[in-house]
Amino acid sequence: MIRYALLCEHDHGFEAWFASSDAYVDQAASGLVECPFCASKQVRKAIMAPAVRGTKKAPPQPGPPREMQTMVMEALQQVRNHVEENFDYVGDAFAREARAIHAGESENRGIYGEATPAEVRALKEDGVSVAPLPPAPTPKAQVN
């Protein structure tokens, strides 16, 4: 199998797989290769670098250092702690209360609680600022 990067006459780029180079030539000549965007049959091969596998294995890509991961997790926990200590918990009434605060019908204060994805989308569409609370840490007894 061979993969080609292709371009149509309108410069729409796409890829296609063929059994061989000859199969591409035959299908293109027969008008069987067409652009998925505009259905043009005027298709040509684009310049592409071949994907050649070497004999050496690529070295593993290092992730962020453990210290950075720890710092990020600690910062997220501090955000969560601040919210839990300083904001009002409103439970599953979050969407209703956030909308009331936004409309000036309820006291302007920080709140947190639960909302469904649909409620969050509706709040954002209405211009109500919301953000997810960082997750609570996993209890040490549940960590592998």
Q: Give residue limits of the domains in the chain.
A: 2-45, 66-134
pLDDT given for residue 64 in this prediction: 75
pLDDT given for residue 60 in this prediction: 74
pLDDT given for residue 27 in this prediction: 92
pLDDT given for residue 107 in this prediction: 95
Tell me the CA distances in angstroms from 108 to 10, 32, 100, one per residue in order: 55, 64, 9
What pTM was computed for the model? 0.52
CA distance 3 to 14: 10
Q: Buried (b) or exposed (e) across 13-51, using 16+ Cβ within 10 A?
A: ebebebeeeeebeebbeeeebbbeeeeeeebeeeeeeee
pLDDT given for residue 51 in this prediction: 65
pLDDT given for residue 83 in this prediction: 94
pLDDT given for residue 70 in this prediction: 85
Token digits of residue 7: 């371009």
pLDDT given for residue 142 in this prediction: 67
pLDDT given for residue 144 in this prediction: 59
Residue spans of the chain under pLDDT 50: none
